[in-house]
Amino acid sequence: MTRTLTILGATGSIGRSTADVVLAHRDDLQVEAVVGGRDAEALAQTARRLGAKFAALADDKGGSALKAALSGSGIGSGAGASAVVEAAERDADIVLAAISGTAGLRPTHAALKPGRRIALANKESLVCAGAAFMAEARRIGVEVMPVDSEHNALDQALAAGRTRDVEKAFITATGGPFRTWDRERIAKASVAEASAHPVWSMGSKINIDSATLMNKGLELIEAHHLFGLEPERLDVVVHPEAIVHGLVQWTDGAVTAGLALPDMKVPIANALRHHERLAMALPRLDLAAIGRLSFENADEARFPCLALARAALRAGGAMPTILNAANEIAVAEFMAGKIGFYAISEKVELVCSSFAGRNLGAPATVSDALAIDEEAREAARQLMPA
């Protein structure tokens, strides 16, 4: 059966991989709408290529450029926040939510409609407002399927048993570019060195989060909301080959794991059709050719951002929202060359500590989450060099 699809974040790395999946299965997937950030030309090309009916640009100044780029195509267009929400709300069976950052919160929540599937790649929907997002999804009958390779692997592995029989669920980390570096060398790392992810091709901010291992901490918070697992039943294991993406250890001692070559089209295809797997003409996993899979414990002394994220998850309430906001500001300052690598974790810890005594509850709405996010960002800005 053909399903209709809207892609939020169509010009990013996840969106481009999703387009490849769609083009390989034109009889199974038809595109209703596509959303991009600022690049009107790239969004128009994507809309034309996928045969979308509507295209929306988040940048309200780019509306004229988008309309001109789509001239003669018959594809409708709009620009600004209202156009993005319009795209998210259009009739579609599936919404691929891949707008990065807190900019993705409102459109991803707007996409929650009865009977719909959300293929979720926007971390902030769960990190900043996970309790509210999942409660609303359950209330109105929305299926949430994770797109991140780690959570997608866990989703498949967890199908082997009951949640109550899970002893521990592990997400894997490549260890980033500094896996074998000592702390002294890491402290002197440049932006270019921190951005050089050894396996995945991702956005610049996510590359830095992978270097600090904050990305894995945020993924633990996501896993908590997606699968209803307590913090003590979630962990990270370093696996540089990036073949095993998630593992579930059961109470009887058995382990179920999700393995695949590191290609985002694999979890995207699974998230889009789930129980109806899409055949993909991708290289197959050859374990004999790989020869060895290795695993290590994550070192929180060299990568303190992971410890900070674990602490935020345990604290609950608004602390994950505060952690995420502070981290975004600190990473931006590092990328601008204003602070050193370890100043990222130092600033995040200071911001989280400044909010700790207030016992703020988990955001009940997107507006609550965005208000806490902005307050934490301002607190982080105050700690940054002029």
Written in H, E and C, the secondary structure of 31-97 is: EEEEEECCCHHHHHHHHHHHCCCEEEECCHHHHHHHHHHCCCCCCEEEECHHHHHHHHHCCCCEEEE
Q: What is the mean pLDDT of residues 13-42?
A: 96
pLDDT value at residue 205: 87
pLDDT, the chain, mean: 95
DSSP per residue, 302-354: T-HHHHHHHHHHHH-TTHHHHHHHHHHHHHHHHHTTSS-HHHHHHHHHHHHHH
Q: Is the torsion defined by CA of 149, 151, 157, 160 positive or negative?
A: negative
Using pLDDT thresholds of 50, 70 and 90, give the confidence band for residue 192: very high
8 Å CB contact between 252 and 160: no
Using pLDDT thresholds of 50, 70 and 90, give the confidence band for residue 119: very high
8 Å CB contact between 245 and 172: yes
pLDDT value at residue 201: 66
- Which residue from 73, 77, 70 is spatially nearest to 56, judged by alpha carbons? 77
Please write the tens of the pLDDT for every residue from 288-330. Answer: 999 999 999 999 999 999 999 999 999 999 999 999 999 999 9
pLDDT value at residue 323: 98
- Which residue from 47, 85, 43, 33 is spatially nearest to 65, judged by alpha carbons? 43
- Token digits of residue 222: 């996501």
Using pLDDT thresholds of 50, 70 and 90, give the confidence band for residue 385: confident
- Token digits of residue 78: 């709009």
Confidence (pTM):
0.95
The sheet with strand 3-8 has its strands ordered as 76-79, 54-57, 29-36, 3-8, 94-97, 117-120, 143-146
Please write the tens of the pLDDT for every residue from 164-185. Answer: 999 999 999 999 999 999 999 9
Percent of the chain with pLDDT over 90: 92
Q: Given a cut of 90, is residue 273 above it in pLDDT?
A: no
Q: Cα(169)–Cα(386) distance, rounded to whole angstroms? A: 42
- Which residue from 109, 112, 133 is spatially nearest to 226, judged by alpha carbons? 133
pLDDT value at residue 359: 84
Max distance between CA atoms of the chain, in angstroms, equals 62
Q: For the chain, give percent helix, strand, coil, nearest 5.
A: 50, 15, 35
8 Å CB contact between 373 and 380: no
Task: Classify residue 48 by burial, with Cβ atoms within 10 Å: 0-12, 13-18, 19+.
Answer: middle
What domains can you pick out in the chain, each with its CATH number? Answer: 3-146 (3.40.50.720)
Please write the tens of the pLDDT for every residue from 197-250. Answer: 877 666 688 899 999 999 999 999 999 999 999 999 999 999 999 999 999 999
Cα-based distances in Å from 322 to 107, 115, 234, 277, 351? 21, 32, 21, 38, 8
- Token digits of residue 303: 């990568």
Q: Cα(199)–Cα(293) distance, rounded to whole angstroms? A: 15
pLDDT value at residue 275: 76
In this structure, the strands spanning 234-238 and 244-250 are unpaired
Please write the tens of the pLDDT for every residue from 130-152. Answer: 999 999 999 999 999 999 999 99
pLDDT value at residue 194: 95
Q: What are phi and psi of 246, to 5 degrees?
A: -160, 145
- Which residue from 188, 224, 229, 194 is spatially nearest to 209, judged by alpha carbons? 194
pLDDT value at residue 386: 61
Q: Cα(386)–Cα(382) distance, rounded to whole angstroms? A: 9
Burial letters for 179-198: b for 16+ Cβ neighbours within 10 Å, e otherwise?
A: bebeeeebeebebeebbebe
Q: Given a cut of 90, is residue 1 above it in pLDDT?
A: no
pLDDT value at residue 198: 77
